[in-house]
Structure 1
């Protein structure tokens, strides 16, 4: 995959239409098997550096129990995913005048029994997160392993998104959502396309 370019397989027009109509969209078969394997290996090789996401500023929270590792310039393959999201953000800027300027992201690991309770990534426009993007980077997944994304779209309809390998779920950061309890280790990259002010 070329790091600086939008993957040609991504259906940009459909993505834009889905976001406009529903506030969320799904990209399946996002990347090549070679890239996925390299990215999974990069994630697994750094698992010992993940920290407990339930502890924020020294305070223990019961809303989530996953583990995360913020992505920096040393994580070569994860950076390629961020560059693809940056390219997609330019499409959002052209279509929605969103002014997205940056992407922040971390690896996330949900072990068996772990979850993230109902929340919004940008409640009432309190931060610069415009679009949230969850990329499921495990190479195999079974439907009974849990870890689904449960999401309320902009029309107040609820959806269950299966964490299928090589799938990206994108949604407005102000939408209510949760990660249901995983029954098997679930790996992903969570990213936020950021702007100084929210789009919707």
Structure 2
């Protein structure tokens, strides 16, 4: 048991180090084998359970008083993780370790992490956008974990990352289980191409409270 935990800790540290090196170099990172297989399967089982309970709802764009629903821009369904289960607590503890490493190595002053399950049904997509909202910019680093096995290019649903300076694609990522994508929220435009089969992921953001949010008590 102790050996297994040591191996897992080493694997996590290696992941965090690789991501941080990429963020410094280019502002984005794509890593394979990011989570233990058992945790990935537990997350998939929980998504399916909540989906069967019809708890994943159409996703909004914007935050707080600016929130709106526009399925011409975004058509996935989501459910926020709140620590309601052992599986969620395990995953959130992993993200907390990730946050601490980002702060330790990059001095980002990250206060918290938020994340949600996301299901893209057949034909669903999310048009090109930035994750940091104008005026708030509380989301500093975005992170995505993919949960589908045996994903093929013909299944669609790729994540496209764009250059900060132009429309050039810097990476096109298949949403294959175990893949982790991380990028600077205010700098990397991205989009999800239409999926041709059900596509499952967890999207998260390492945040620091913005001046506007503090003034509004958010």
Q: TM-score, normalised by structure 1?
A: 0.87
The answer to whether the 8 Å contact 1:22/1:154 transfers is no
Which among 166, 189, 195 is matched to residue 178 of structure 2? Answer: 166
Equivalent residues in 2 for 1:21-170, closer than 5 Å? 21-47=25-51, 48-54=54-60, 59-61=68-70, 62-124=72-134, 126-154=136-164, 157-158=168-169, 159-170=171-182
The answer to whether the 8 Å contact 2:59/2:69 transfers is no
Write the distance in 2 (CA, Å) between the matches of 1:153 and 1:81.
Answer: 30
Question: Which residue of 2 is the match for residue 189 of structure 1?
Answer: 202
Which among 156, 174, 178 is matched to residue 191 of structure 2? Answer: 178
The answer to whether the 8 Å contact 2:114/2:205 transfers is yes
Moved more, 157-166 or 43-52: 157-166
Given the superposition, is the C-alpha separation of residues 7 and 125 from structure 1 closer, same or farther in structure 2, using an over 3 Å criterion? farther
- Per residue, is there more strand in 1 or in 2? 1
Moved more, 94-103 or 78-87: 78-87
The answer to whether the 8 Å contact 1:54/1:63 transfers is no
For residue 204 of structure 2, give the secondary structure of its aligned residue in structure 1.
Answer: strand
Structure 1: give runs of 5+ residues left out of the alignment: none
Number of aligned residue pairs: give it.
Answer: 195
Structure whose CA Rg is larger: 2
For residue 138 of structure 1, give the secondary structure of its aligned residue in structure 2.
Answer: coil
The answer to whether the 8 Å contact 1:23/1:153 transfers is no
Q: TM-score, normalised by structure 2?
A: 0.81
